[in-house]
Structure formats: structure tokens, C-alpha cells
């Protein structure tokens, strides 16, 4: 697998790449929106260079602020950015189809499938792969945030992490508080 060559330049956006990326990411990620989002970021920002990191975080923030499932919202808004309404329908379909197929067709024998020894081994291995990709994305984002040496965003970042991970506070409240902090204190261009 090491002979795969990737150019750092921007790769052309095609509906097929959009569909394929979102379908595979959705099919192999179990466990909610914030598992899926860093994988999309790894693919669309770091690998394909379709959008900038800042824009991708803005889009995720918007996705989180709207009602509905974050994963679906993120897929919709990324798709819209990449290819307007057609792009949005492509990524939406790519994200929705795996759970739709899994639950309609496979649901009858899913338990047998999921408890199968070999399937378990693959899933267990894949969980480590998912964790690695997310950690790579997360560390990169945290380092970049800290390098800017601005106190407020760093405080928001660590404060929100503690609120979410340690105290299990509902994400909606975290988002609301941070939005107010931003509105009140972070309109200056240095924070852009």
C-alpha cells in the first residue's frame, strides 16, 4: 500500500469521488457525527485540498448549529460547497445509503453477522484505524490553534473539551456559550 502516490495539489471534484468518499466514510464509521467529521476533514481538506481548514471548521460549526444529525448536516453543507445542489444530493445520498442499506437489508441477520468471529476482528482493527485518523486530525488542529498564541480560542478549546468529555455537558449548551463568547469578544480580525 506504500506505492500509492498522492500529489499535494488540489484534486478535481467529481460527483463520483464525492459519492465514493462519503459512502465509504459513512459505511465504516460507527459512533456518531464527530467520528465522521474528522474523517471527512482528512479526506476533503488534507488529502484532496478541496477546501481550506478554516472553511471546513466554519462549515462544521454551521452543521452543528442546525437541527438534525450532525453527520448528515456536515455532509449536506460540504456537498453544497463542493457542487451546489447536485453536490449536496450526492454527499447526502453517500452518507444516508450505508445505514439505510444496513438496516433494511442486513437487519434480519445483522446480529449473526456482527457477532461473527472474523467480522469482529476486522471491525476491531478498523476501530484502531479510525482512532488513528481522528487523532492525527485532532493533534494537527490543536497544534495549529496553539501556535496562533491567542488566549481566548485556546481557552474555548480546552474549556469545551473538559465540558464535553469530563462533564458530559450537552453539546448544544457548549455551542451556545461559545457562540456568545465569540459574538461578544471575538469580532476582531486577529481571530479570523
Partner 1 sequence: MLILWELFLSFATVGLFCIGGGYASMPLIQAEVVEKHAWLSMREFVDIFTISQMTPGPIGINAATFVGTRVDGIPGSIAATAGFVFPSLIIILILAYLYYKYGNVGAIRGILNGLRPAVVALIASAGVGILLLALWDKEKLPVSLDATNKIGVLIFALSLAAIHSKKVGTIKTLLASGVLGLVFYSLAGL
**Residues of this chain, 65-104, that bind partner 1 according to CB under 8 A:** 65-73, 76-77, 80-81, 88, 92, 95-96, 98-100, 102-104
**Least separation, in Å, of the C-beta of 89 and partner 1?**
9
* Whole-angstrom distance, CA of residue 181 vs CA of residue 187: 10
Cell numbers describing residue 86: 447536485
Helix (H) or strand (E) segment spanning residue 72: helix 70-101
Note whether 107 binds partner 1 by CB under 8 A.
yes
Cell numbers describing residue 110: 445483522
Report 109-148 residues binding partner 1 (CB under 8 A): 110, 114, 118, 121-138, 141-142, 145
* Whole-angstrom distance, CA of residue 143 vs CA of residue 8: 21
| Cβ-Cβ contacts under 8 Å for 24 (sequence gap 6 or more) | none
Report 150-169 residues binding partner 1 (CB under 8 A): 153-154, 156-161, 164-165
Q: Based on CB atoms, which residue is closest to partner 1, 10 or 122?
A: 122
Report 12-71 residues binding partner 1 (CB under 8 A): 21, 24-35, 37-39, 42-43, 46-47, 54, 57-71
* Whole-angstrom distance, CA of residue 182 vs CA of residue 191: 9
Q: Based on CB atoms, which residue is closest to partner 1, 14 or 129?
A: 129
Amino acid at each position: 500500500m506504500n506505492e500509492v502516490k498522492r500529489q499535494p495539489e488540489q484534486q478535481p471534484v467529481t460527483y463520483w469521488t464525492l459519492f465514493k468518499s462519503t459512502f465509504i466514510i459513512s459505511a465504516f464509521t460507527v459512533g456518531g457525527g464527530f467520528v465522521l467529521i474528522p474523517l471527512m476533514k482528512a479526506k476533503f481538506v488534507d488529502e484532496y485540498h478541496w477546501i481550506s481548514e478554516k472553511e471546513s471548521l466554519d462549515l462544521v460549526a454551521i452543521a452543528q448549529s442546525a437541527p438534525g444529525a450532525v453527520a448528515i448536516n456536515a455532509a449536506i453543507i460540504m456537498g453544497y460547497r463542493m457542487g451546489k445542489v447536485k453536490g449536496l444530493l450526492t454527499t447526502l445520498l453517500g452518507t444516508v445509503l450505508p445505514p439505510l442499506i444496513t438496516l433494511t437489508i442486513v437487519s434480519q441477520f445483522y446480529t449473526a453477522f456482527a457477532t461473527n468471529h472474523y467480522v469482529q476482528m476486522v471491525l476491531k482493527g478498523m476501530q484502531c484505524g479510525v482512532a488513528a485518523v481522528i487523532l492525527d486530525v485532532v493533534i494537527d488542529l490543536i497544534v495549529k490553534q496553539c501556535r496562533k498564541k491567542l488566549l481566548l480560542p485556546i481557552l474555548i478549546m480546552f474549556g469545551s473539551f473538559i465540558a464535553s468529555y469530563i462533564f458530559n455537558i450537552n453539546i448544544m449548551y457548549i455551542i451556545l456559550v461559545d457562540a456568545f463568547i465569540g459574538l461578544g469578544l471575538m469580532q476582531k480580525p486577529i481571530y479570523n
